Amino acid sequence: MDINKIRQDFPYYSSSTSKKPQIYLDTACQSLRPQVVIDAINQYYVIEPACGGRSNHHLSAAVSHRVDQVRETTAKFFHASRKEEIIFTRNTTEGINLVANSLGLKSGDTIVISDKEHNSNLIPWQMLVKREGVQLKVVPSLPDNTFDLAAFEKILAGGVRLVSIGMTSNLDGVTVPAAEITKLAHKHGALVLFDAAQAAPHRQIDVKALDIDFLALSGHKMLGPSGIGILYGKLALLEKMSPFLVGGDTVASSTYESCEFLPVPEKYEAGLQDYAGIYGMGAALDYMKKVGFDFIQKQETSLNEYITREIADLSGLKILGPADPKIRGGIVNFTIDGIDSHRVALMLDQMAGVMVRSGQHCVHSWFNSRQIKGSVRASTYFYNTQEEAAIFIENLKKIRKVL
């Protein structure tokens, strides 16, 4: 595919009035959006600005139909068995919280996570430890930050109710062996939830082939609007669970004493939905399918290899995660001895319009356990170019000389 033509799909690249380059290397935080996503959002607000599923007029019917279409599109994108297994949420965080608070976890149950979890897949379980008395166990990574299957299976042997693992780490871009994790977990009677916030934008996920029980992800990291997310769950599990957020649109009827909940997925989608976000999410998935994961991964790997090679000789620089850039996807996260990560990020922005993220990246637990104050994370996507990477490298070298 022609990268220049792809970039024409993104208004950001033609809208800036700044004279200096605007190099966005922060997609692991949030991706840019193509025009088709913006058009889909506008379709709701301009053409079909009504409530879905509530009123008996043509605008309401149009919204309901579009929401149903996007649910079907999402189910096919992730190879779910049925569209009812797709629940619209605000983001990955809400999806994980929904499972945490709806699965009926109690004292005596054990939840297993990795040592590189985003706060979204750590804090909900810590709250259950305090509130319900569940146990939380952490699988330590191998020295190169890859997943330790042997340590994982050893923990499983002690009895586990739920495994909740980030499929791809926002810390270093490493993707865990999802098929092996699920197989081992099910062998020991545990359910599996994957945080796919960083995986879904970069690789095909087949929930049926992987036999995943739950999958949570966010639209804003995969070309979609902010404030829209997806939770996939096996229908049999969703039907047994109790809803977390309740109220309008979750019930078929109510009295002063009781209520009758709607079937899945409606019983989990409380209140007025983000219809514009759902419209945009559908457009984002269609666009990603057109681009294709082969191209996405090829572009990311090429850029990571180039950046890794060119910064390897910078004194005091250490890349977090495996040495092989092919294992780190689009993420190059590093520290430089004696230099504050925020200062590096600020200088890159001010000197050359290079936008990266600095700090502890919502993985405070990993950094604090290793007494690391923070790091600089450059994260590429298929719309980034080698020319942009070269400007990043050039200015990083300048900063290293100065500091």
Dump pLDDT digits (tens) for 81-128: 999 999 999 999 999 999 999 999 999 999 999 999 999 999 999 999
Per-residue model confidence (pLDDT) at position 17: 62
Is residue 266 predicted with pLDDT exceeding 70? Answer: yes
Cβ neighbours of residue 324 under 8 Å, at least 6 residues apart? none
C-alpha angle 76-169-88 in degrees, rounded to nearest 5: 35
Is residue 391 predicted with pLDDT exceeding 90? Answer: yes
Per-residue model confidence (pLDDT) at position 1: 85
For the residues 297-317, what does the mean pLDDT come to?
97
For the residues 256-270, what does the mean pLDDT come to?
96
For the residues 301-326, what does the mean pLDDT come to?
97
Is residue 19 predicted with pLDDT exceeding 80? Answer: no
Residue range 203-247, pLDDT digits in tens: 999 999 999 999 999 999 999 999 999 999 999 999 999 999 999
The band of 18, judged by pLDDT with boundaries at 50, 70 and 90, is low
Segments making up each domain of the chain, as ranges = 3-26+292-402, 48-290
For the residues 55-75, what does the mean pLDDT come to?
97
Per-residue model confidence (pLDDT) at position 218: 98
Q: What percent of the chain has pLDDT over 90?
A: 96
Angle between helix 386-402 and 341-352 (nearest 10): 120
For the residues 60-74, what does the mean pLDDT come to?
97
Q: What percent of the chain has pLDDT over 70?
A: 99
CATH domain 3-26+292-402 topology: Aspartate Aminotransferase, domain 1 (3.90.1150)
CATH domain 48-290 topology: Aspartate Aminotransferase; domain 2 (3.40.640)
The band of 21, judged by pLDDT with boundaries at 50, 70 and 90, is confident
CA 168 to mean position of chain CA atoms: 8
Is residue 199 predicted with pLDDT exceeding 90? Answer: yes
Q: Is 259 a catalytic residue?
A: no
Residue among 159, 157, 181 nearest 168 (CA): 181
Per-residue model confidence (pLDDT) at position 66: 98
- Mean pLDDT, the chain, as a whole number? 97
